[in-house]
Amino acid sequence: DAKTTQPPSMDCAEGRAANLPCNHSTISGNEYVYWYRQIHSQGPQYIIHGLKNNETNEMASLIITEDRKSSTLILPHATLRDTAVYYCIVRPNFGNEKLTFGTGTRLTIIP
Amino acid sequence: GAVVSQHPSWVICKSGTSVKIECRSLDFQATTMFWYRQFPKQSLMLMATSNEGSKATYEQGVEKDKFLINHASLTLSTLTVTSAHPEDSSFYICSASLGQVAGSYFGPGTRLTVT
């Protein structure tokens, strides 16, 4: 699987948009970009995934650059409950492929 | 979304004993489940891939005789930590895949403390 690079930590003010970057410069054509988050002492939670088009769901938006070498997860109106470690993962589009977690970004929402 | 449960949520056991952790997919069938381990302030480390009806595939460095995995049905996988030692104390998390490009769904985790 391609490796990803994320900043170790970020702060964001409550109510503002949180923009979390991820670099995946060695991504292959058949690899999707997935985002998960892990709130302290819980299992990871799926957020969103995409291949090359921008995606939006009720939780977040995913912006993927045209060359697919980087992406940004956007939480449009961050709340205190969004404080978590966010993981960006690239994975082939085979359903039963494993997920390999990097170190992620620890996002802290500031009141 | 899909729901994955784990039981127990936490367990304390004495050194040398064995502990079984269950992972269930509640509203879908999962031919493949994954087991992860997470030490404090570290990321999740994949231990093994559990396939229904066949032997599990272990990651390099994970002792298959110590961490026994059984995937007897499409909704249940179990991880047994045999002859547990204090260094096995960790947060164990399972996940199940819906297949195709759908994301994996994770259980809430089991915190194991070996005294």
Convert the pLDDT of each residue in B58-107 to its tens digit.
999 999 999 999 988 889 999 999 999 999 999 999 998 776 556 688 99
Convert the pLDDT of each residue in A74-111 to its tens digit.
999 999 999 999 999 998 766 567 888 999 999 999 99
Beta bridge pairs of residue B95? B34, B106
pLDDT value, residue B99: 65
Contact A101 B45 (CB under 8 A): yes
* Phi, psi angles (nearest 5°) of residue B24: -125, 135
Burial B99-108 (b: 16+ CB within 10 A, else e): eebebbbbbe
Select the residue from B49, B60, B106 to test the A interface by mutation, using most A Cβ atoms within 10 A: B106
CA distance, residue B23 to nearest chain A CA (Å) = 12
CA distance, residue A83 to nearest chain B CA (Å) = 15
CA distance linking residue A19 with residue A111, whole number of Å: 17
Instruction: Choose among A43, A45, A95: nearest Cβ to B99.
Output: A95
> DSSP label at B59?
P
